């Protein structure tokens, strides 16, 4: 009998959280962090040379690295990783939730229209009588 979807989802979320905790702790170690950065830069360079598409995370990183001299790329990535770790620990739960909710709000009107409907389809106002 196959397991329910919720059980497998819970297990994958738990694994992801566990792996994330391990990787965050490993990135605190300088030698491992520098090895990871060198490996990432090699991967980006090889993919560019072969004309392959990069994963979305690497694509964003490549755009940021384009502004930095080639000799300083590793330092730039390391500084941004350290800054990200500090930012994660200092940001409170309320702030994380506020940032998450900010993306869901659709500006003016507070989300009166649903995606897929033409503008004005869900307007509130006087009800027209037949």
Residue 105 lies in a domain: no
Residue 46: per-residue pLDDT: 92
Asked if residues 40 and 58 have their Cβ atoms less than 8 Å apart, the reply is yes
Residue 74 lies in a domain: yes
Taking the complete model, does pTM exceed 0.75, yes or no? no
Q: Which domain holds residue 62?
A: 8-93
Residue scoring higher pLDDT (84 or 25): 25
Please give the mean pLDDT across all residues of the chain. Answer: 77
Q: Among residues of the chain, what percentage have pLDDT more than 70?
A: 65
Residue 121 lies in a domain: no
In this predicted model, what pLDDT tens digit does every residue of 91-110 receive, in sequence order?
A: 566 776 777 777 665 555 55
Q: Look at the chain and report how many structural domains it folds into.
A: 1
Residue 112 lies in a domain: no
What CA–CA distance (Å, rounded) separates 107 from 78? 36
Task: Give Cα separations from 19 to 3, 27, 44, 89 (angstroms).
Answer: 23, 12, 23, 17
What CA–CA distance (Å, rounded) separates 27 from 78? 10
Residue 110 lies in a domain: no
Residue 88 lies in a domain: yes
Residue 86 pLDDT > 70: no
Residue 71 lies in a domain: yes
Residue 115 pLDDT > 80: no
Residue 52 lies in a domain: yes
Residue 72 pLDDT > 60: yes
């Amino acid at each position: 009998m196959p397991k329910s979807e919720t059980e497998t989802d819970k297990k994958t979320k738990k694994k992801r959280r566990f792996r994330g905790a391990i990787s965050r702790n490993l990135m605190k170690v300088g030698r491992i962090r520098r090895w990871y950065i060198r490996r990432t830069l090699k991967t980006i360079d090889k993919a560019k040379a072969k004309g392959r598409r990069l994963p979305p995370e690497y694509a964003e990183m490549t755009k940021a690295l384009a502004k930095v001299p080639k000799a300083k790329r590793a330092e730039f990535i390391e500084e941004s990783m350290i800054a990200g770790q500090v930012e994660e620990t200092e940001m409170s739960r309320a702030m994380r939730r506020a940032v998450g909710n900010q993306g869901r709000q659709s500006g003016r009107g507070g989300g009166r229209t649903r995606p897929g409907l033409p503008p004005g389809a869900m307007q509130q106002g006087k009800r027209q009588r037949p």
